[in-house]
Amino acid sequence: MSTNTQKLRVLCARTDHDLLILVQRELDRGFALVDAATTRNSALFAQAEKAYQTANVLLPRISGLTEDDRQRIEAKVVELRSRMDRVPVHANVRPYPTSVAS
């Protein structure tokens, strides 16, 4: 094996490792944001959606994942989507009676 081939393998392994860390961080970020979001119209929900999309785009690009790792990460993606789907579209706003001091 040539040194260039070996260097390329090392570079690919590092890239896969870095992408995996990025995907995991985006998913963790998405979970934190969706847990804090009160409605789907909130800025926090929009950021969670972006983190979800980023993870979905990067995950297929990681070539060196074992099948177990891929299934574990995909399960987290599905769980994040599930939590996002449970966020209400609108906040439940209940009117409170006003009282005026006399």
Residue 32 belongs to a domain: yes
Residue 17 belongs to a domain: no
Residue 101 belongs to a domain: no
In this prediction the pTM is 0.81
Q: Total structural domains in the chain? A: 1
Residue 95 belongs to a domain: no
Residue 27 belongs to a domain: yes
Question: What's the pLDDT at 95?
Answer: 62
Question: What's the pLDDT at 90?
Answer: 79
Q: If you ran DSSP here, which 8-state letter would residue 64 be given?
A: T
Q: What angle do CA 48, 61, 32 make, to 5 degrees?
A: 20
Residue 15 belongs to a domain: no
Residue 38 belongs to a domain: yes
Identify the domain containing residue 46 by its residue range. Answer: 22-85
Residue 45 belongs to a domain: yes
Place of tokens 């209940």: 94
SS3 content of the chain, % helix, strand, coil (to 5): 70, 0, 30
Question: What's the pLDDT at 40?
Answer: 94
Check: CB of residue 57 under 8 Å from CB of residue 85: no
Q: Which residues of the chain have pLDDT under 50?
A: none
Question: What's the pLDDT at 4?
Answer: 87
